[in-house]
Amino acid sequence: MGLLRPPLRAHLPGGRQAAGGRQVRTLTDPAQLAGKRVLVRSDLNVPMDGTTITDTGRITASAPTIRALAEAGAKVIVAAHLGRPQGAPDPVYSLAPVAPELSKAIGRQVTFAWDTVGDDAQAKVAGMDDGDVVLLENLRFDPGETAKKDADRLPFARRLAGLADAFVSDGFGVVHRKQASVVDVAGLLPSFAGGLVAAEVEVSDRLLHDPARPYVVVLGGSKVSDKLGVIASLLERADTLIIGGGMVFTFLAAQGHAVGQSLLEDDQLDTVRGYLSKAQQAGVDIVLPTDIVMAASFDRDAEHWTVPVDALESTPAGASAIGLDIGPETAAHYAELIAGARTVFWNGPMGVFEFPAFAAGTKAVAEALTDVHGGADQGRLTVVGGGDSAAAVRALGFSDDSFGHISTGGGASLEYLEGKELPGLAALEDE
């Protein structure tokens, strides 16, 4: 686990870390920021049910950097967003419920500011002592945070930067966004990548440039179109691509299978056929299900049947059946392939894991990854991509430390693996 969740002390101000062949400034010695006001951009975009946080994973992942800075005597100002408010205050998206959970995670009181750069934020930052932590209200309550034009983001970025003496970028889930708190503030203050971002970069670089082989990639989720770039990139790097989730039906349809009312992207059929052909030429195995759990409807308690992929419309529901999970034969085969790998990257559930009847495929993949990580060969690396995959493993009862690394950045992870330049990392590069 040391490689994958390095302590903050392993990354110092003035330190450097490779990111896709480039060097980013990394935070390595929090003590050098003692007494300073430090703005930390975290990713606290947690799932909510009303005012109840349903998954605290991102809070837990953000805590080490914040805690280390506070313990070193910095005045820590945490900035983050929640959901997609339309550039104005909206109580539905307030970060107020996050403050007590963050307090628990870092083991000290977190004061909440009821605005972002307004009077309350200004007053609470002005009243901070060394080691204090203030959480600002949702950044996206200001339209300048997500404005498309640089000139429209800059005024908000300047007000944010005016709260602090230094900036630590520690929200990997947003480094692919060109936003005021991610990019523009980094150009206005001495800036560094925090421990979480440094760890994510380290793992992503290993997946992209130096994977131990065999290298197995497991891709699920709803749509092929969400993963076009990463599939194209990984066809040049992975040994095996395992496909599940709703996106599998576009692959099956491309091979001529009838898929009932299962999720299907007709406009991607030719693209998928191209991937299948390219994989064959490159000697990369694209592995598809041999059986599917088909249901009468998209419903938690729907009647369902396990059928082979060449007979998906043979159930009593006929052509109206909908595929909601990979079948048990497929799950066992996928688990076997994962167990034989030295590097595994998984992004996207295998089925509708929120419904217990259709969670078996996702659970089988998760269990296989924990088995790999628990093996004697410490050179193995298992990475759970962020977003739905991370939510799934927690919902199914797995602990974070059962895996080599659980990423906090679904979209950022995928774009990194596509080889794209991420604006939030580019802002931390040496010129």
Tell me which H or E stretch contains 205.
helix 195-209
The question of whether 20 is a catalytic residue gets the answer no
CA distance 372 to 2: 17
CA distance 45 to 42: 9
Instruction: Report the greatest alpha carbon distance in the chain.
Output: 69
CB 217 within 8 A of CB 188: no
159 is in an annotated binding site: no
388 is in an annotated binding site: yes
Catalytic residue among 73, 87, 162, 411: 411
Alpha helices in 210-359 (DSSP H): 228-234, 248-254, 269-282, 328-339
16 is in an annotated binding site: no
Residues listed for the chain: 431
CA distance 324 to 358: 6
Tokens representing 152?
């429209």
Catalytic residue among 5, 36, 58, 178: 58
Residues in CB range of 104: below 8 A, 6 or more apart: none
81 is in an annotated binding site: yes
83 is in an annotated binding site: yes
Nearest to 398 by CA among 362, 429, 427: 362
CA distance 176 to 412: 5
313 is in an annotated binding site: no
82 is in an annotated binding site: yes
The question of whether 58 is a catalytic residue gets the answer yes
37 is in an annotated binding site: no
- The amino acid sitting at 193 is A
278 is in an annotated binding site: no
406 beta partners = 384
Phi-psi region of 260 (alpha: psi -120 to 50; beta: other; left: phi over 0): left
428 is in an annotated binding site: no
84 is in an annotated binding site: yes
The question of whether 387 is a catalytic residue gets the answer yes
Residues in CB range of 335: below 8 A, 6 or more apart: 364, 365, 367, 368, 371
Tokens representing 207?
């997946």
Catalytic residue among 16, 22, 108, 223: 223
The question of whether 342 is a catalytic residue gets the answer no
Catalytic residue among 387, 404, 410, 424: 387
- The amino acid sitting at 14 is G
- The amino acid sitting at 190 is P
CA distance 373 to 241: 19
What does DSSP assign to residue 181? I
CA distance 426 to 98: 29
Residues in CB range of 211: below 8 A, 6 or more apart: 237, 238, 342, 343, 381
Angle in degrees, CA 336, 356, 318, rounded to 5: 85
Annotation: binding site: 43-45, 58, 81-84, 140, 177, 227, 323, 354, 386-389
Annotation: binding site for (2R)-3-phosphoglycerate: 58, 140, 177
Residues with catalytic function: 58, 223, 387, 411
Annotation: binding site for substrate: 43-45, 58, 81-84, 140, 177
Annotation: binding site for ATP: 227, 323, 354, 386-389
